Structure 1
Amino acid sequence: MAGGEPRSRAFQARAIALMWRSLAGRRLSTLWRLARLIGPLVERLSRRERQVTRANLAEVYPSRSPAERSQLSRQSLTHSTATMLELGFAWMGEPGRVETSILEVHGRELLDEARAEGRGVIVLAPHFGNWEVLNFWLSGHFPFTAMYEPPKLAQLDPIIRKGRERRGASLVPTNPRGVAALLKALKRTEAVGILPDQVPSWGSGVFAPFYGRLAYTATLLPKLVARTEARVVTGVALRLPGRGFAIHFLAADTRVYVADEVTSASGVNACVEAAIALDPAQYQWEYKRYRKTPEEAEGRPDFKRFRIY
């Protein structure tokens, strides 16, 4: 029994890697058709994903009818399925094919202008559309550094790392050494990527509104801005189902430039909301964004470190 779980995880990792490799050369239209077949099954058979998605949608879209939210849940899980199927394409597909799949780029001038002014660029990249395609484009057009946390299935780490670095991206750990690397990159007027919608560990965030409800939000951004005067933009790769992707860079909510951490975090969440508005179905609603609560914080001995908006 002792070796059963490691063997199971190794088998799972090999199966996932095989799927990515086998799908890497497929047309995006084929992958989207597969997603439309598999997505409804995920919504029907995966209780956890279905429940979390529906709970989040009820929280952020209370004015929509249950039928509308149910339809949006199915659409969202179909897009999440498409993202999983497209990972092999983004990481292992022929680079020319991936590049030509990016049919539109909007807002690139925000990055070009910042670098012309001698400023680095912080790209807030929420879990929307296909963020790996966004990484592919950024690392091919700008010196680009992003934080990276190895996957739970350790056997997949070399595959993911190679895929993300193949266009020149520099991956740094999610620790003080990684933060130092981001600061150095920004001071060289390069671009760095940050995930704005992951729940941070206790002591690394504050509570700020996200669709009107308090969500524990990371406070790395104001520290980077204060020390580098970098420009902040939101970046997403919007899926054009079956055809390709449209890269969008959006000017950040001005609150992200405020030194106060709660105000800045509120601006970060507003940036994520603005990206989601492009197409709510393409956001990864199955993530438990509200899993840490102010009530939970109050019971902690280091509560004084947490600030409530």
Structure 2
Amino acid sequence: MSEPQSSTATLQGRAIATLWRSLAGRRPAMLWRLARLTGPLVHRFSRRERKVTEINLAEVFPERSAAARRRLARESLTHSTATMLELGFAWMGEPQRVEASIHEIHGRELLDDARAEGRGVIVLAPHFGNWEVLNFWLSSHFPFTAMYEPPKIAELDTVIRRGRERMGASLVPTNPRGVAALLKALKRSEAVGILPDQEPDWGSGVFAPFYHRLAYTATLLPKLVARTDARVVTGVARRLPGRGFAIHFLAADERVYAADETQSATGVNACVENAIALDPAQYQWEYKRYRKVIEQQQGHPKHKSFRLY
């Protein structure tokens, strides 16, 4: 049985939800201006996010100067701040206004062609730009299913779930029942979304290169592909600062279709790298992508009994 949420967490959740509601009617241009004002404060006072971002950038862009990486870190945290400020807009803003904020769609034919062939589509959606705007667009235009894990702050669960489901998305749990739901959706020639850049629990992934360094990567994708003959695409909502968003669908690295799980995971990470190349500042670099490699090197990986597959 989970422990009851503390009163502090409850108050924190209510404050965050109130902020999102208050910003839901603001335009992306105004939210970007607000992010430009508050982003430097996040960079200065959020020591953990700044440190992890700078470490990750040093790992993936060693050829860049230290000054260039520091600039990129500041830009990245400003974009992360913008994403947080835009969540109310994506989840609670008038649908017509959210749709109107999407000025460009690139690569839609990848989804349309797959569905015309009777194939499902697996959308790899890395933490780039505003992935909630991507969810809004996908669930507005296609039957769409995605996995959902309740947030640590329980007070936000209803807000997030309603926001993600409001245009018709179907949310399924991150367990075997959820995997079964994804398989059924793909066999109906529908679209499903997968976050390709989160480290899975021990036993649910393999080590595969991400920017030439090993990262523990989920193996859900090859299992879905093998059982459904689905097409894989990468999808992101790139921010157009001061204007809105551009949706990009990119053809997947062919290695994602490999039967070998390490090869497939290598292809998944290459897909994430290709998306990041659109604008490296818009990727969420404050996530500890190489954490499990460090745990393994230290000789005490935190094995868990739960397996997603």
TM bracket (short chain): over 0.9
Displacement after TM superposition at 1:5 (Å): 7.0
Asked if 1 retains the 8 angstrom alpha-carbon contact of 2:148 and 2:173, the reply is yes
Other-structure match for 1:73: 73
In structure 2, runs of 5+ residues without a counterpart are 304-309
% identical aligned pairs: 80
- 1:179-233 per-residue CA deviation (whole Å, 9 max, x = no partner) reads 0000000000000000000000000000000000000000000000000000000
**Residues 182-201 of structure 1 aligned to structure 2 (within 5 Å):** 182-201=182-201
Other-structure match for 1:119: 119
Asked if 1 retains the 8 angstrom alpha-carbon contact of 2:292 and 2:301, the reply is no
Asked if 2 retains the 8 angstrom alpha-carbon contact of 1:254 and 1:267, the reply is yes
Secondary structure of the equivalent of 1:202? Answer: coil
Other-structure match for 2:284: 284
Secondary structure of the equivalent of 2:292? Answer: coil
Other-structure match for 1:180: 180
Confirm whether residue 206 of structure 1 aligns to residue 172 of structure 2.
no
CA–CA separation in structure 2 for the residues paired with 1:277 and 1:260: 26
The change in CA–CA distance for 1:19 and 1:135 in structure 2 (over 3 A counts) is same
The change in CA–CA distance for 1:4 and 1:174 in structure 2 (over 3 A counts) is closer
Aligned amino acid, residue 159 of structure 1: V
Aligned amino acid, residue 30 of structure 1: M
Confirm whether residue 83 of structure 1 aligns to residue 83 of structure 2.
yes
Give the TM-score, by structure 2 length.
0.95
**Residues 160-175 of structure 1 aligned to structure 2 (within 5 Å):** 160-175=160-175
- 1:232-254 per-residue CA deviation (whole Å, 9 max, x = no partner) reads 00000000011010000000000
Displacement after TM superposition at 1:4 (Å): 11
Asked if 1 retains the 8 angstrom alpha-carbon contact of 2:126 and 2:272, the reply is yes
Q: How many residues align?
A: 301
Aligned amino acid, residue 63 of structure 1: E
Displacement after TM superposition at 1:122 (Å): 0.1
The change in CA–CA distance for 1:43 and 1:301 in structure 2 (over 3 A counts) is closer
Aligned amino acid, residue 236 of structure 1: V
Other-structure match for 1:242: 242
- 1:274-302 per-residue CA deviation (whole Å, 9 max, x = no partner) reads 00000000000000000001761784699
Confirm whether residue 148 of structure 1 aligns to residue 148 of structure 2.
yes
Other-structure match for 2:109: 109
CA–CA separation in structure 1 for the residues paired with 2:218 and 2:145: 18
- 1:98-145 per-residue CA deviation (whole Å, 9 max, x = no partner) reads 000000000000000000001000000000000000000000000000
Give the TM-score, by structure 1 length.
0.95
Asked if 1 retains the 8 angstrom alpha-carbon contact of 2:5 and 2:153, the reply is no
- 1:62-85 per-residue CA deviation (whole Å, 9 max, x = no partner) reads 000000000000000000000000
Asked if 2 retains the 8 angstrom alpha-carbon contact of 1:147 and 1:173, the reply is yes
Asked if 1 retains the 8 angstrom alpha-carbon contact of 2:233 and 2:252, the reply is yes
Secondary structure of the equivalent of 1:105? Answer: strand
Displacement after TM superposition at 1:27 (Å): 1.5
Asked if 2 retains the 8 angstrom alpha-carbon contact of 1:186 and 1:192, the reply is yes
Aligned amino acid, residue 13 of structure 2: A
Aligned amino acid, residue 194 of structure 1: I
**Residues 28-39 of structure 1 aligned to structure 2 (within 5 Å):** 28-39=28-39
> What is the CA RMSD across the aligned residues, in angstroms?
1.7
Displacement after TM superposition at 1:29 (Å): 1.2
Asked if 2 retains the 8 angstrom alpha-carbon contact of 1:182 and 1:192, the reply is yes
Asked if 1 retains the 8 angstrom alpha-carbon contact of 2:211 and 2:273, the reply is yes
CA–CA separation in structure 2 for the residues paired with 1:136 and 1:91: 8
Which is worse superposed, 249-258 or 287-296?
A: 287-296
Aligned amino acid, residue 28 of structure 1: P
Asked if 2 retains the 8 angstrom alpha-carbon contact of 1:207 and 1:294, the reply is no
Aligned amino acid, residue 85 of structure 1: L
Other-structure match for 2:306: none
CA–CA separation in structure 2 for the residues paired with 1:123 and 1:58: 29
Asked if 1 retains the 8 angstrom alpha-carbon contact of 2:107 and 2:250, the reply is yes
CA–CA separation in structure 1 for the residues paired with 2:34 and 2:274: 29
In structure 1, runs of 5+ residues without a counterpart are 304-309
Aligned amino acid, residue 233 of structure 2: V
Aligned amino acid, residue 154 of structure 1: A
CA–CA separation in structure 2 for the residues paired with 1:301 and 1:46: 27
